[in-house]
Structure 1
């Protein structure tokens, strides 16, 4: 049976597993095969014996030389705005790990909305503009705001694209494909629509809980 480790106490060597059959099973460290330390969020295969799990085998992650401490477990989804804020505040240049589709599209949505908002001063001045050089100069200066904001968003956007590629098992270096005219945009659109891999891969544990 497959399941996920809910909790583990390294002191007592006891833990709790949530099976895919929606039943919880207790286990001991001695039930876990291999040298990998149990950790919450780790997907495992096990044999149920009443209310206990035995012959526990971590799935895939050990084949890539990863440990549970090296990548965070799957998480419950956030709403779009918190995802956008987190991409800027916490993962501004972080291209490691994985990003689910909701995180990617949340960033795209609010990047577009905030960019449109940055153009508002220019549109207002353009609408109220007369033929004076001062008004024309001010209108041109207001274009600096969306220009700088767009450059600012490029960095977390590239980092997020790398994590999205990781989430479907691809190298982040494939982001370079986006610089190919016509092909690049279509490539990232396809990448953004592919579901997350439901199991650990070489970039970390699943980006969400299944």
Structure 2
């Protein structure tokens, strides 16, 4: 649980490096929180659901889509800064500038490249963004 909350303690710290564990545990934390917020919004009736039905000459399809409500928006606003910060620190660990986050604006290819950068292991030893967090040891998590 400490690894999930570590980026919240480093809320707007864009310098330094982040281990893969710190990044991916925070992504898991966000996913679990979004599921929880969606359940609460569904129970309270705050989310918007669109039902649709399409019929063609040889097929028919039906489904629904749900958009988040105000709780999802507030949670997203609260988490955008720590998510960007931990993403920048993760890129620093691979010896890349945080400006590489802007590659996500290239549809599909940019997201794939960014995902590969996040999956890659960090550079061993110090780099231009600071010492290796594995060699230095993590700060006290409690």
The structure whose Rg is larger is 1
**Structure 1 CA distance for aligned equivalents of residues 134 and 20 of structure 2:** 10
The structure where strand makes up a greater share of residues is: 1
TM-score with structure 2 length normalisation? 0.75
Match of 2:36 among 108, 117, 138: 117
CA RMSD of aligned residues (A): 1.8
TM-score, normalised to structure 1, is 0.52
Q: How does 1:69-148 map to 2 (within 5 A)?
A: 81-88=1-8, 90-126=9-45, 143-148=69-74
Equivalent in the alignment of 2:62: none
Q: Would the aligned equivalents of 1:97 and 1:203 in 2 still touch at CA under 8 Å? A: yes
User: How far off is 1:139 after superposition?
Assistant: 5.2
> What is the aligned length?
117
Consecutive unaligned residues in structure 1, runs of 5 or more: 1-80, 127-137
Extract structure 1 runs of 4+ deviating beyond 3 A.
Answer: none
Alpha-carbon distance in 1 for matches of 2:30, 2:127: 29
Higher RCO structure (Cα 8 Å, ≥6 apart): 2
5+ residue gaps, structure 2: 49-67, 137-142
